[in-house]
């Protein structure tokens, strides 16, 4: 009797490691929005002229203006353009004057990041512009938001390669498509993110509750509020591109 009991206990103990390794149905891989923090925030908004207004806001308030100008020029260069109406300035987010609420921002206009009929969001040129630098600076994480845009059944939800990992969140209020992008290494030529999924996505767009990162979504909208004046608008009026249908 004691022998049978001992054998039963040993058999039970032998199964414990295997039981611990089996994932529960509720477990899932954590998303980039849960495991990463963006160091650079890029917002893209279509202007009434048809051009796109781009804002680049580094999280580091001490980010050099020269480096920010180079980032803007690199992004436009990926589209074969120059940044129109480029402005680089310090922004006080809440008007308090507190140093921790002041950031440096680049704003400019380009063409070709958003196309219509069907909707194509060209994420690759944005990511390629930041896939440069020293190896020690990577992985680099971006937040790229297409403001005012709503997804369709072929909007890119997820993408992964040896060079980059991409995930999307869809926001209702304010409406936006937000991408969290983790660039693995400095390899612009290796970035090939599709503008549109080849097959319809199997699930409906995931609506999100407020997250810790949602503050930056609101900040991005605040930052873009003053872009309808000055040299930027003048540059937009000079050129009114058409969207490809």
The SS3 of residue 230 is helix
Q: Which of 80, 70, 178 is nearest to 125 (CA)?
A: 80
Neighbouring C-alpha atoms within 13 Å toward the C-beta of 185: 6
Residue located via tokens 């999100």: 208
Q: Residue 97's domain spans which residues?
A: 41-195+211-238
Give the CA angle between residues 107, 109, 115 to the nearest 5°.
125
Residue 33 counted as domain residue: no
Question: Is the pLDDT confidence value at 14 over 50?
Answer: no
Are 114 and 90 within 8 A, CB to CB?
no
Q: Which is more confidently placed, 40 or 17?
A: 40
Q: What is the pLDDT of residues 207-221, one digit of tens each?
A: 544 444 445 544 554
- The predicted structure's pLDDT at residue 150: 97
Total count of domains within the chain: 1
Sorting pLDDT into bands at 50, 70 and 90, what band is 98? confident
Q: What is the pLDDT of residues 39-91, one digit of tens each?
A: 999 999 999 999 999 999 999 999 999 999 999 999 999 999 999 999 999 99
Are 152 and 168 within 8 A, CB to CB?
no
Q: What is the pLDDT of residues 127-140, one digit of tens each?
A: 999 999 999 999 99
Residue 73 counted as domain residue: yes
Question: Is the pLDDT confidence value at 239 over 50?
Answer: yes
Question: Is the pLDDT confidence value at 25 over 60?
Answer: no
Residue 17 counted as domain residue: no
Residue 29 counted as domain residue: no
The CA-to-CA distance between both ends of the chain, in Å, stands at: 81
Q: What is the pLDDT of residues 133-190, one digit of tens each?
A: 999 999 999 999 999 999 999 999 999 999 999 999 999 999 999 999 999 999 999 9
- The predicted structure's pLDDT at residue 88: 97
Burial 66-105 (b: 16+ CB within 10 A, else e): eebbebbbbbbebbebebbbbbeeebebeeeeeeeeebbb
Burial 193-205 (b: 16+ CB within 10 A, else e): bebeeeeeeeeeb
Residue 166 counted as domain residue: yes
Residue 19 counted as domain residue: no
Residue located via tokens 């060079």: 163
């Amino acid at each position: 009797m004691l022998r049978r009991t001992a054998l039963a206990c040993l058999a039970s103990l032998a199964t414990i490691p295997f039981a611990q390794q089996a994932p529960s149905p509720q477990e899932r891989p954590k998303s980039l929005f849960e495991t990463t923090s963006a160091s650079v925030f890029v917002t893209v908004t279509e202007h009434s002229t048809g051009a796109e207004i781009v804002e680049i806001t580094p999280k580091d308030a001490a980010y050099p203006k020269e480096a920010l100008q180079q980032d803007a020029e690199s992004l436009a260069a990926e589209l074969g353009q120059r940044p129109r109406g480029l402005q680089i300035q310090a922004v006080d987010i809440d008007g308090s004057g507190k140093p921790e609420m002041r950031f440096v921002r680049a704003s400019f206009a380009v063409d070709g990041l958003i196309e219509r009929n069907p909707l194509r969001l060209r994420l690759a040129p944005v990511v390629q512009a930041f896939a440069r630098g020293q190896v020690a600076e990577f992985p680099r994480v971006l937040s790229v938001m297409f403001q005012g845009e709503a997804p369709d059944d072929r909007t890119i939800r997820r993408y992964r390669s040896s060079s980059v990992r991409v995930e999307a969140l869809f926001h209702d209020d304010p409406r936006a498509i937000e991408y969290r992008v983790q660039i693995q290494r400095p390899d612009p030529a290796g970035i090939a993110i599709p503008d549109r999924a080849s097959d319809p996505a199997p699930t409906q767009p995931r609506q999100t509750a407020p997250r810790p990162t949602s503050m930056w979504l609101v900040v991005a909208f605040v930052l873009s509020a003053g872009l309808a004046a000055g040299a930027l608008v003048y540059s937009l009026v000079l050129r009114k591109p058409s969207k490809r249908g």
